[in-house]
Amino acid sequence: MIKYMQRRFALSEQGAKDLIKGCVAQAVQNISFMLPVGLLYYFVCDLMDGGVNGSQTAFYIIGCIVCLLFTFAATWFQYNGTYLATYVESGIRRISLAEKLRKIPLSYFGKKDLADLTSSIMSDCATLETTFSHYVPALIGSVISTILIAIGLFKFDWRMALAAVWVLPIAFTIVAFSSRVQNYFNRKQREASVELEEGIQECIETLRDLKSNNAENKYLKELDKKISAVENRKIKSELATAVFVVSASFILKLGIATVALVGSALLISGTLTVPALFMFLLVASRLYEPLDGALQNLAAVIATSTNIERMNEILDHPIQTGTNKINNNGYDIVFDNIGFAYNTGETVLKNVSFTAKQGEVTALVGPSGGGKTTVSRLASRFWDINRGRITVGGSDISKIDPETLLSIYSIVFQDVTLFNNTIMENIRVGKKNATDSEVLAAAKLANCDEFANKLPDGYNSMIGENGCELSGGERQRISIARAFLKDAPIILLDEATASLDVENETAIQQALSRLIQNKTVLIIAHRMRTVSGADKVVVLADGIVKEQGAPDELIKQNGIYKHMAELQTQSQNWAL
């Protein structure tokens, strides 16, 4: 039961247990609301039998107090068992999703949009939070309490009980049959919402380009269409739900009418007393009230299946595992007949073999799309290879936990990611426990002093979202400073100096020459000037190693490397 609820509602084990407690508490609360009806029935009977004496009066007063206290206790447990427990579970769910995303291979993110993942963590979690605090306990609790109350009614008078409950299976059947229709409309609505979120995010990120190309109005018109599509989908979804829920609610209302009609007929025939008819009318009015809301809740619960599917897709995705200890002998990176293809089926690498030795700079060059960036990502196990073997110091990286493996890497990406914080704290990301003096030393190596000292607060200056207050070169130098601060034995540089001017590029290269002593450096670059001082150059083209060796040796081979060097020389000499 617990395992089923965990899977069905994307809950933790404790969350599933709390949900069961909440449903039981809701059922007890519903039953507590019926107790005054029974007390009132016996009070009316006593009045009609000749009045209420002193002892009976005391009994009814005490009975009212007991009913009040019981209802209060049931409501208190119901609140704690549904709302408070649900909010705790909502936090657990968000953390679980975030932890799972942290361990999922980066290949997964290539298939998913950022807006879609953000929606799963924020919107889907919020939807399920509402569902499990307001809908599911109320629905299941109403079903449990209705069954128990119905059993009591059948023992009291089966004819009146049948007149009261015959509408229930019909109403539930109507809503249950609506699940497939509602799932269809909800899925379409979700798709339209995600498409709109992606469009809004893209508009914000590319607003500068849209304005510079006078394409803003055209893009906003397309965005208006997406907004209208979401609105139309929501209307259709609500209409589909309303058709079934309203029909079921209408059927429920017939129950009161049948209780009145059957009760009147039995009263006339003399087989039913007036207090009994009065009690059944009161019970019927109370019986259908939670069920009426529960039917609407059932529609809402059915609608959450799409949200749960999206969350289970993340939770069920396989993660990268491995040992937390690296038994390496040095830090040579060896690619041995590596084959790799993305999920699209496109083959990127075929039988790639080379060695990046410790204490040397190994440069990856070649035409765009040749697989250079893929090689660096495979080396750090951002993706897992399809064929072959990659080792670091003789240890197979596929058997090492990714976080453990990355502890020996310092990586500088071409696309820098910064946080809306100070320069100091952005650099400290490379080593969370670093002292200010260590951060400043790394910043100086990365030539950050030049721009940081010009700012009003120096290294304590806020740089805005993703470093929007800085230039591309300044942002990249902060990223390089992180790598210096981490001081790992393996350094991966993916176009690390692409946004730097010649002067700063020279300064960074000089700093790198001091940093790489006894370390393994794998650098991806398009500028031949950047790799001219490398110990080894690996030329990748069409997913295979075309050439490899020292730069001077490759120039003499009259191959791809020499051709690229000559083309860059020609481009440098080009003038208007």
* pLDDT given for residue 43 in this prediction: 78
Q: Quick one: tokens of 130?
A: 């509402």
* pLDDT given for residue 499 in this prediction: 58
* pLDDT given for residue 332 in this prediction: 92
Q: Count how many domains the chain has.
A: 3
Domain check: are 432 and 360 in the same one?
A: no
CA pair distance 21, 1, nearest whole angstrom: 13
477-520: pLDDT as tens digits: 888 888 889 989 998 888 766 656 666 667 666 666 766 777 89
For residue 511, being part of any structural domain is answered with no
CA pair distance 238, 232, nearest whole angstrom: 10
For residue 558, being part of any structural domain is answered with yes
Domain check: are 391 and 403 in the same one?
A: yes
Domain check: are 183 and 330 in the same one?
A: no
Domain check: are 183 and 94 in the same one?
A: yes
Residue 428 has pLDDT above 70, yes or no: yes
CA pair distance 484, 478, nearest whole angstrom: 10
User: What one-letter code names the amino acid at 63?
Assistant: G
Domain check: are 190 and 204 in the same one?
A: yes
CATH of the domain at 166: 1.20.1560.10
460: Cβ contacts below 8 Å, ≥ 6 apart: 422, 423, 424
Last residue of a domain, one of 280, 315, 350: 315
CA pair distance 481, 427, nearest whole angstrom: 6
For residue 507, being part of any structural domain is answered with no
Domain check: are 181 and 47 in the same one?
A: yes
278-332: pLDDT as tens digits: 888 888 777 777 777 777 776 677 777 777 887 888 888 888 888 888 888 889 9
For residue 97, being part of any structural domain is answered with yes
User: What one-letter code names the amino acid at 230?
Assistant: V
For residue 168, being part of any structural domain is answered with yes
At 450, the pLDDT band (50, 70, 90 cuts) reads confident
CA pair distance 508, 483, nearest whole angstrom: 12
How many beta carbons lie within 10 A of that of residue 203, not counting itself? Answer: 15
CA pair distance 18, 127, nearest whole angstrom: 18
Domain check: are 458 and 428 in the same one?
A: yes
For residue 357, being part of any structural domain is answered with yes
Domain check: are 176 and 198 in the same one?
A: yes
Domain check: are 307 and 330 in the same one?
A: no
Radius of gyration of the chain (CA): 35
Last residue of a domain, one of 290, 315, 340: 315
For residue 118, being part of any structural domain is answered with yes
**Mean pLDDT highest for which of 44-58, 172-186, 290-304, 333-347?**
333-347
Domain check: are 273 and 353 in the same one?
A: no
* Residue in the structure block whose two tokens are 């107790």: 35
Which comes out higher in pLDDT, residue 502 or 80?
Answer: 80
Domain check: are 334 and 462 in the same one?
A: no
Task: From 371, 392, 336, select the one nearest 494 (Cα to Cα).
Answer: 371
* pLDDT given for residue 507 in this prediction: 65
- Provide, rounded to the nearest whole percent, the portion of the chain with pLDDT above 90: 8
* pLDDT given for residue 496 in this prediction: 67
Q: Which domain holds residue 549?
A: 321-408+489-497+516-571
Cβ atoms of 75 and 141 closer than 8 Å: no
CATH of the domain at 562: 3.40.50.300
For residue 504, being part of any structural domain is answered with no
Domain check: are 171 and 197 in the same one?
A: yes
Residue 391 has pLDDT above 90, yes or no: yes
User: What one-letter code names the amino acid at 338?
Assistant: I
